[in-house]
Amino acid sequence: MTNTTTLTPLKVWLERDGALLRLRLARPKANIVDAAMIAALHAALDAHQTAHGLRAVLLDAEGPHFSFGASVEEHLLPSCAAMLSALHALIITMVEFPAPILTVVRGQCLGGGLEVALAGGPIFATPDAQLGQPEMKLGVFAPAASALLPYRVNQPNAEDLLFSGRSVSGADAHVMGLVQTVADDPEAAALAYFDSHLASKSAAALACALAAARGPLIRNLRARLHELETLYLHRLMKTRDANEGLAAFLDRRTPNWEHI
């Protein structure tokens, strides 16, 4: 391990003689993807965007859970516009990053946490990990996941996760195509994948391969996220139920839907 730095709430260091960038969410147990976490992730990726010889990023988390999701408080008016803008800028940076991003998931990987994982490359998860987009239970929807999930799983499975708000296990997510590798020690599995399949490759060739493979996603994502932000801010957040659902979550009570 070399060049270790800490950007609260994120740990950042380089391994494998600078070939592997490690990013670790470091606010257990929830590892909430709030403004501070988003900014730290964005800064770390920006700082290593042109790192010579970087062949991959490994993103994981301290504690028993990857992330409980985004900050519900930051979903409230008037802060939600800034939150969505920052999160979506991070999503675009991850999708366009010139090295594969491997994500290790243990425990809960929900909401904004799963959206961050979706913006990377292969996901390595424990069989009993729980992955889901529970936003619908709060009367809102998941903008970034709405854009990214159909690229990961088929449209019916994407809609199932987005509409139901349910979580699926790592094992079931693997069958669905959401998770690429299931292992009792997903960090070791991700490191083994890097050592076996990426370490010997040209960083320049990997960057071109990523641009080639993700061309349609990269071309479409900015427009889709703009459309989804507009839908979220100018239609969803004007409904009574969206505001009721968020308030009910913060008040720890059952929401009272009026369907308006």
> Is 208 inside a domain boundary?
no
The two beta strands, 56-61 and 20-25, are parallel
Residue 150 lies in a domain: yes
- 249 within a domain of the structure (yes/no): no
pLDDT at res. 3:
46
Asked, for residue 237, whether it belongs to a domain, the answer is: no
Range of the domain at 43: 2-198
Q: Is 47 a domain residue?
A: yes
Q: What angle do CA 196, 178, 203 make, to 5 degrees?
A: 35
Which residues pair with residue 21 across a beta bridge?
14, 57
Tokens of 107: 């425990």
Whole-structure pTM value:
0.95
Provide the number of structural domains found in the chain: 1
pLDDT at 8 (0 to 100): 84
Structural domain contains residue 144: yes
In a structure prediction context, what are the per-residue pLDDT tens digits for the chain, which is 260 residues long?
444 444 589 999 999 999 999 999 999 999 999 999 999 999 999 999 999 999 999 999 999 999 999 999 998 988 999 999 999 999 999 999 999 999 999 999 999 999 999 999 999 999 999 999 999 999 999 999 999 999 999 999 999 999 999 999 999 999 999 999 999 999 999 999 999 999 999 999 999 999 999 999 999 999 999 999 999 999 999 999 999 999 999 999 999 999 99
Is the residue at 139 inside a domain? yes
Residues 6+ apart with CB under 8 A from 260: 239, 240, 241
pLDDT at position 40:
97
Return the CATH number at 27: 3.90.226.10
Asked if the structure places residue 240 within a domain, the reply is no
